Amino acid sequence: MVAQRLQLHRALSKLGLCSRKVAARWVAEGRVRVRGVVVRDPLVWVALGEDAIAVERGAAEPPAALGPPTGARVYALHKPRGVVTTRADERGRGTVYELLPPDAGGGWLFPVGRLDRDSEGLLLFTNDGVLADALTDPRRHVPKTYRVRLDRALEPAEQARLRAGVELDGRTTAPAAITWERGHWYRVVLREGRNRQLRRMFALDGRKVERLVRLEVGPVALGDLAVGAGRWLSPVELAALRAAAGLAVGDEPPVEAG
């Protein structure tokens, strides 16, 4: 597998350690080492999965040594509402990393995309940067399924408009599948993932999202996972996920012996 190359501040964010803004500050303060050397430029390119990165935290925080992964793994978490998708939060809020098991692979397990603080449901973590990028690349059209409760029901014409695509950030969204379930609940399938996309789409018609639950990412389903619980994907599930992302057999990172 070709190592994923990212600018240093993006790599720290990708690993779930902090936001890009905080990462840039850490780098400027001389708290980040790449291959043992202090780097003060957040725009330096690093090879995720090859370059050893270490972050010197504050006095009350243990250092984060980010060594290479030992084989492709994916962990499925049922993210609760009220926690943020980052490793450390400067505002002291709970994070998804507090819910991961001891064998989660340290800093090398990072989230595949994000769910905002008020959203819940299926959140995948992996140590495979190529797989993560493929699953979040809108050109791959990997479907992600959600259940959404609105404050008011949609009119048929509004549903049709959202299905066809609406303009966000100067670009039209990809067609979405929107199905009414009951009451104010809708099932939505997206094949792209923009920042807070569903909330912003429904806001165009004056609707507020009261609850948002991600049910599926490609072939991986939330199923009956309890809130806050998680599980490792089986080899069969991992192969199916890679296929859904358009990755050929042989693209995965090698598993080290021992």
Nearest to residue 163, comparing CAs of 108, 105, 130, 202? 202
**What letter represents residue 200's amino acid?**
R
Question: What phi and psi, each to the nearest 5 degrees, are found at residue 191?
Answer: -120, 25
Nearest to residue 132, comparing CAs of 111, 116, 114, 108? 111
Contact by Cβ (8 Å): 84, 95: yes
| Complete edge-to-edge strand list for the sheet that includes strand 37-38 | 37-38, 32-34, 53-55, 64-66
Q: Residue 159: helix, strand or coil by DSSP?
A: helix
Cβ atoms within 10 Å of 247's Cβ, excluding its own: 20
Give whole-number Cα distances, 250 to 46, 147, 203, 220, 253, in Å: 23, 34, 43, 21, 8
118 is catalytic: no
Among 51, 89, 116, 251, which one carries the catalytic annotation? 116
Spatial separation of the C-alpha atoms in residues 252 and 60, rounded to whole Å: 37
Identify any residues that bridge with 38 across adjacent strands, giving them in sequence order: 33
Contact by Cβ (8 Å): 207, 151: yes
Tokens of 101: 């098991």
Residue positions annotated with a catalytic role: 116
